[in-house]
Amino acid sequence: MTTHIYFDLDGTLTDPYVGITKCILYALDKLGFPHPGDDYLHSCIGPPLWDTFPEMVGEELTGQAVDLYRERFVEVGWRENVPYDGILDALEAIARAGHTLFVATSKPHQQARRIVDHFGMGRFMQHVYGSELDGTRSKKSELLEYAIGQNPGATTHIMIGDRKHDLVGALANEMRPIGVSWGYGSVAELASSGAAAIAHAPADLPGLVT
């Protein structure tokens, strides 16, 4: 049996809160918009920027806001990620068990690859899938459909993520959805979105994917 396992990046492999929120606030400052509260910023971790910025700046300015966000992100924001404790050990154990690992994130694939390699996760990943800069394949269901199509031959597909978008995207592509509770979605969000299992620490993952 061949198992392909797709991992979300933000909130699953790394904690991106500092980098993402500082880049959002940078874009809002440049455009002259007020800062949202911490709870709202917390909710911005996971969904595509193309979905969250319209709520803050309107549809017309969303493209400009995304460009400004990326202006800071490519300089410093990408380095403000922090890998979750134990995640490298979990990836090593899963890879050693013979599974094929991928990243599937709504973040642009160029940025995602840079982060994955910088924090030593690239050696475990067959490929890093992400959106294009214009927002193409920023929806998780579309991204996973594309990634699966690029990697035929697996008998089992698993998606691991911390938000409902990951699990809904997995179910849309007939994948087994596994949630992680250390990210930015609550256990209730994951359960109501169809999680087949929920990991409460990275050490739980190797057992859940076998």
- State the catalytic residues: 8
User: Are 105 and 165 a contacting pair, CB within 8 Å?
Assistant: no
Q: Side chain identity at 47, as an amino acid letter?
A: P
Ordered DSSP codes for 10-58: BTTTEE-HHHHHHHHHHHHHHHTPPPPPHHHHHHTSSS-HHHHHHHHH-
Q: How far apart are CA 121 and CA 124, in angstroms?
A: 6
DSSP 124: G
CB-based burial label for 37 (10 Å; 0-12, 13-18, 19+): exposed
Give me 78's structure tokens.
Answer: 């990408």
Q: Side chain identity at 115, as an amino acid letter?
A: I
> Helices then strands (H, E): number in the chain?
10, 8
Gyration radius from the chain CA atoms = 16
Q: How far apart are CA 89 and CA 203, in angstroms?
A: 8
